[in-house]
Amino acid sequence: MKNNLLMDFTVNKETNTVHVKREFNASLPQVWSAWTEPQILDLWWAPAPWKSETKSMEFKEGGRRLYAMVGPEGEEHWALADYTSIDAKTNVKWLDAFCDSEGNLNNELPRSDWDVTFAEKEGSTFVDVVIKHEKLSDLEAILQMGFKEGFTIAMEGLDKIFEEKA
């Protein structure tokens, strides 16, 4: 079992983009399921001690996932993923936004465009995440909210799920 899994987090302020390359010690079908099935997503999508709770999810092009990040004190931060493109086990794209519990967008907070590619190589699965923001101030706002730290913790949570299944 590999302990030194790739985690590369790069910010490009010229293109308003976050690029994350991440390796998982799991098969492509396992990793794909973890990113696309709400019961597994909810186990790792929020950075501990927060929890992810999916209210509704229709994983198809034109579908959406409405979910909350629920804090240890019960506070809720709602988000919406609008799926724009799905190529089974290779790529999924969505527009991510903050919203209320009914899915009404919060236009005060930035929306981001996610492009997530999956590839299996030498017993590991690599996930390549490109998150594009409309403007630099949106990118900087997300980073100030702790996106890098939170996403890193979430990725480690996904590692734990795969370790338990091994």
* DSSP H/E element including 8: strand 7-12
Beta carbons of 76 and 68 less than 8 angstroms apart: yes
Residue 8 structure tokens: 């590369």
Beta carbons of 134 and 128 less than 8 angstroms apart: no
Q: Tens digits of per-residue pLDDT, 42-51?
A: 999 999 999 9
State the Cα–Cα distance between residues 18 and 146, nearest whole angstrom: 13
104: three-class secondary structure by DSSP? coil
Beta carbons of 72 and 50 less than 8 angstroms apart: yes
Residue 67 has a pLDDT of 98
Q: Indicate the pTM of the whole model.
A: 0.94
Say yes or no to pLDDT of 18 above 90. Answer: yes
Beta carbons of 57 and 160 less than 8 angstroms apart: no
Percent of the chain with pLDDT over 70: 98
Residue, of 111 and 3, whose pLDDT is higher: 111
Say yes or no to pLDDT of 166 above 80. Answer: no
